[in-house]
Structure 1
């Protein structure tokens, strides 16, 4: 997995994967009976072609061989070409495919691939550090093997544009993205009026939040939109993307969440899976560029929630892990698994504040989607 490395200076540093795995292991999580490690190989073309165009996969292969020009979004500053670009991206895609296969066969009801979440990759184009869309691969595998409806929930700070575009015209998939507004952040999409194709009206949900949104506003917005729409869609499986670049310390975004809120989002999605999908849930990683202080803690919490044994918020970060980070990378890591944030938010039922930019974002999304599901007569 760590061979998915564009360059020494690129923000998408696979060190974050190594440190997440190491932190999970130091906390004893990977020794628990609830975890069974999958070791994915490189995805076959047939798997990649389930969601990507043939000429695009060929272009990625050519790029890896050094014979391609800058096409299909490859060779840009965001997606520079490197020797392992096809194989490493295809291994990540296979990881999420294996998660879907494990659900299909009954081996598990929950799975996590924190190396995944490459949500900007579109059917025929690389974008935003993403080459192959592993989450879309997982969703498509579920659909191809009998699942009737899937909800994809994306809580990355950036809009999940690639996944949305792949399933834009598929009424079996609802894509939900809670992100910083495209007015102020890449990729410049994900507005409330993007609601799906002509044959899938109401299956694309976009909650575009203002820069500076903090824990209380983010959680209020999530709960004002997501649970009701997921319940109305009646999915059989939830696939989620947990980019942790919404954190206040992330250098590439302008949201201001804490580790505590990101853990809460994972817990809330777990509840949706338990209540609506017989616990069937696949979680992936995504963005996250504060690779020492944020990503390992956030995704370790994610893994623990998927495993059914959440790590208590005030748990101490193992001293051996902190020492490793200090000696290997010269960074002083946090000493606790949380940010000691105050997790309280106003329920939407308390009322709408037109002076609050978060509330205005919520209203815009509810106005576009809720009437399609008979959820909010106020907008009829």
Structure 2
């Protein structure tokens, strides 16, 4: 999986995958009796073509074979997505990881799976964007639909708008995409507002919550709980697919949100509970963005894996000494002592009341007023 490597100075470092795996192993998550670690495979061109244009797949191959010949019209060989040898194989393996997850749910071998190397939500059908080449989540959803799943809910809590995944299912009423992200007024890709609701044949299939810059745990979780559970329950999916980019953390240098490891763990727990409530626990979780590779990414995604496994790690759990030593020796950094940050994750329920002078509440209300009536819900009370 670490072959997905844009170079030593790129924010999307494969080191974050290595450190996450090491931490999860140190915590015993990967050795739990209910956990199987399954190898990802390189998705075939035919599999990729269920979502991506064949000309685009061919372009990814060409650029990976000859990195000196970029194709910027396809988003390949740009500053965000630099060309590198083997680009197709590395990207298709990440896609294969999420396909493995979908296949495991379809054959009944597990109700839940996680591919923390996935979550490439900016990849479009015919273009790379925002560090993403192939859209593994969209491929997993497409596989689920092709095998008879009637409805899938996609929940994206990355700091950036899940624009690629939204666009792929823009006019498909079988897929509900909900993206909770920093407003496009202050962050790439500049899209994803309350009035973006899906195509003519699927109004309400796209839902966006464009959070003000600086939003902290209290507002982030308030917005999540004021929008996501109500719409997912009304939609009634058979499977939930989620994207857990952790770049909304206050220590992430690429974004302007202010969440904590604790808050992101709380959101993952809420998605797990939602899957149990609406679709008998069927849930595929992916990674995504996240660029603080020592303090944030490994802890958030280790928490995610533990939650998927049904064995959440308490926030006061010490970070294993061996992992901290490895970080110090290899990266010269002081690793965190605990799996949490002692953050205050209390959030004010929407039922307490709407404050029109609060920018966060105005954002939430805009989304509710746009989307809720399409599901027979009252934007003020449901």
TM-score when normalising by structure 2: 0.98
C-alpha displacement of 1:68: 5.0
- 2:48 is aligned to 48
- 1:158 is aligned to 160
Q: Distance between the aligned counterparts of 1:252 and 1:332, measured in 2? A: 21
C-alpha displacement of 1:71: 2.8
Kindly report which structure 2 residues correspond to 1:58-77, keeping only aligned pairs within 5 A, or say none: 58-66=58-66, 68-77=70-79
Give the SS at the match of 1:179. strand
C-alpha displacement of 1:361: 0.4
Q: Is the 8 A contact 1:238 1:281 kept in 2?
A: yes
- 2:138 is aligned to 136
C-alpha displacement of 1:213: 0.2
Q: Which deviations, in whole Å up to 9, do the C-alpha atoms of 1:166-191 show, x marking residues without a partner?
A: 00011000000000000000000000
- 1:111 is aligned to 113
Q: Is the 8 A contact 1:121 1:127 kept in 2?
A: yes
C-alpha displacement of 1:139: 0.3
- 1:9 is aligned to 9
Q: Distance between the aligned counterparts of 1:32 and 1:349, measured in 2? A: 39
C-alpha displacement of 1:29: 1.1
Q: Is the 8 A contact 1:59 1:71 kept in 2?
A: no
Q: Distance between the aligned counterparts of 1:70 and 1:218, measured in 2? A: 35
Kindly report which structure 2 residues correspond to 1:14-25, keeping only aligned pairs within 5 A, or say none: 14-25=14-25
Alignment counterpart, residue 87 of structure 2, candidates 72, 85, 88: 85
- 1:367 is aligned to 369
Kindly report which structure 2 residues correspond to 1:273-292, keeping only aligned pairs within 5 A, or say none: 273-292=275-294
Q: Is the 8 A contact 2:368 2:379 kept in 1?
A: no
Whether 1:336 and 2:305 are equivalent positions in the alignment is no
- 1:208 is aligned to 210
Q: Which deviations, in whole Å up to 9, do the C-alpha atoms of 1:46-98 show, x marking residues without a partner?
A: 11101101110010001011155333111110001000211110000000000
C-alpha displacement of 1:294: 0.3
Give the SS at the match of 1:223. helix
Q: Distance between the aligned counterparts of 2:70 and 2:268, measured in 1? A: 40
TM-score when normalising by structure 1: 0.99
Q: Which deviations, in whole Å up to 9, do the C-alpha atoms of 1:301-333 show, x marking residues without a partner?
A: 000000000000110000000000000111111
Q: Distance between the aligned counterparts of 1:221 and 1:378, measured in 2? A: 14
Give the aligned CA root-mean-square deviation in angstroms: 0.9
| Structure 2, unaligned runs of 5 or more | none
Q: Is the 8 A contact 1:59 1:68 kept in 2?
A: no
Q: Distance between the aligned counterparts of 1:234 and 1:272, measured in 2? A: 11
C-alpha displacement of 1:349: 0.4
